Chain A
């Protein structure tokens, strides 16, 4: 299973490296979202700094959506989906592979966005351990849920509009938990950040488990 996962992840990441969609399109989009937030909120009254964690994670969410769309669009051309199914790869491995590639892209985007937030919103990023751990755990959950729902919406012509509608309510808890954890790390909130990381971990474990078990049947049909 792990070998298949590495294969699939490697394939997706190599395609990304060659096409550079994440770097050329998604990252600028993500930064643009931050800029738009700055336009919408008053930059002079410290609102941006206080809201920085939430805005960061909303931008991450939107970018993750794009990354997931892309992950499944890769296979919609030229019967690649059938190829994947017939390849004899372990479905759980395919799940983990796609998830891994998406997670890697989203994590890279988070680094960019964190820099963006630090610079544009004047947010001072201390509590790095909590920040980084939150990013890792939240991304795992996002990628897992996203890959499952991406598969549910894959191959459908209304995929672009259906996936956000399906996925955003599902990952809203991640948004909530990650934002609270970041607020705690930046000294903006009163809650214990690590409790929220626990919640994120539960979310991630649930979706990872479900994905590993159910991806086979999901891929089964065309």
Chain B
């Protein structure tokens, strides 16, 4: 779906408001041959991993639910990846030399996708925890930090939605993203660090057993790959939407200005 040529774009302040896009092509909706291929590949690989997970032989201690290894760790990985990309893009946006609307859009898109992944991580983790530990939730370091991470980035997304000057908003969000990303490595290493602080508790019984067959490890790794592809597609789509939103926004403004001018001319003529 290509856009048609039409009225010229107003020059002046609005043109300066959107510096180079990075990909230089006019928006064609969110569809493209490339993303169709990517999306299909993502869907197929995810379904494959799930099927493999179902086909795995059950382990002795964990019965069936260890199969969740096909989705739970991959989702967590995808969340980390998302937030890492957001932080990187935010940094690039903040540095004046590399500043570009593209980075800000990428940061926002990646964070939203990251929140989806984090939510799913929490849910699948909870589902895994129920038969393993007998509870839907517990306040150990890993779970607590992941929940915290979820709320941190919800806040980031809220910050992005604040009305006002685009650059101001983007800059503030970028700073918030750089602050928030600190929680990602802390979350990852939480299981090791907290063992030293909480000498009274044995965390080993809380984390799912890692002594699994090679088969399970393989499926988990494939899951990582599949989820990465899913991430790529989701971010791509979300990025394009962000770009379209900016287009529509600028556009609405131009139209409003043009109408005001017409009104003013009409009033004078009368």
| Chains A and B share a contact (CB less than 8 Å) | yes
In this assembly, does B130 line the interface, its C-beta being within 8 Å of a C-beta of chain A?
Answer: no
* B171 contact set on A, CB distance < 8 A: 217, 221
Q: A152-B159, A210-B179 are in contact. Are A169 and B151 (CB under 8 A)?
A: yes
In this assembly, does A190 line the interface, its C-beta being within 8 Å of a C-beta of chain B?
Answer: yes
Do A158 and B154 touch across chains, with their CB atoms under 8 A apart? no
Q: Which of A197-221 contact B (CB under 8 A)?
A: 199, 206, 210, 214, 217-218, 221
Residue with the greatest number of chain B CB neighbours at <10 A, chosen from A172, A190, A199, A206:
A172
Q: A156-B164, A162-B162 are in contact. Are A169 and B179 (CB under 8 A)?
A: no
Do B152 and A170 touch across chains, with their CB atoms under 8 A apart? yes
In this assembly, does A195 line the interface, its C-beta being within 8 Å of a C-beta of chain B?
Answer: yes
Do B155 and A169 touch across chains, with their CB atoms under 8 A apart? yes
Residue with the greatest number of chain A CB neighbours at <10 A, chosen from B94, B171, B175, B180:
B175
Do A166 and B165 touch across chains, with their CB atoms under 8 A apart? no
Dominant SS among interface residues on chain B: helix
Do B94 and A217 touch across chains, with their CB atoms under 8 A apart? yes
A181→B51 CA distance, assembly (Å)? 48
In this assembly, does B63 line the interface, its C-beta being within 8 Å of a C-beta of chain A?
Answer: no
Do B154 and A165 touch across chains, with their CB atoms under 8 A apart? yes
Do A152 and B172 touch across chains, with their CB atoms under 8 A apart? yes
Mark A147-169 against chain B: 1 for CB-CB distance below 8 A, else 0: 01100110011100010011011
* B198 contact set on A, CB distance < 8 A: 191
Residue of B with least CB distance to A148: B179
Q: A148-B179, A218-B175 are in contact. Are A191 and B159 (CB under 8 A)?
A: no
* B164 contact set on A, CB distance < 8 A: 156
Do B200 and A158 touch across chains, with their CB atoms under 8 A apart? no
A162→B162 CA distance, assembly (Å)? 9
* A218 contact set on B, CB distance < 8 A: 172, 175
Min CB–CB distance A218 → chain B (angstroms):
6
Q: Which of B121-167 contact A (CB under 8 A)?
A: 148, 151-152, 154-156, 158-159, 162-165, 167
* B94 contact set on A, CB distance < 8 A: 217
Do B162 and A169 touch across chains, with their CB atoms under 8 A apart? no
In this assembly, does B197 line the interface, its C-beta being within 8 Å of a C-beta of chain A?
Answer: yes
Do A153 and B159 touch across chains, with their CB atoms under 8 A apart? yes
Partner of A172, one of B148, B156, B165: B148
Mark A172-190 against chain B: 1 for CB-CB distance below 8 A, else 0: 1000000000000000001
Do A191 and B200 touch across chains, with their CB atoms under 8 A apart? yes
> Can you list 14 pairs linking A and B with CB atoms under 8 Å apart?
A148-B175, A148-B179, A152-B172, A156-B164, A158-B162, A162-B155, A162-B158, A165-B151, A165-B155, A169-B155, A170-B180, A191-B197, A218-B175, A221-B165
* Given A153-B159, A221-B165; 15 other pairs, CB 8 A cutoff: A149-B176, A152-B159, A157-B163, A158-B162, A165-B155, A165-B158, A166-B158, A166-B176, A169-B148, A169-B152, A169-B155, A199-B197, A210-B179, A221-B167, A222-B168
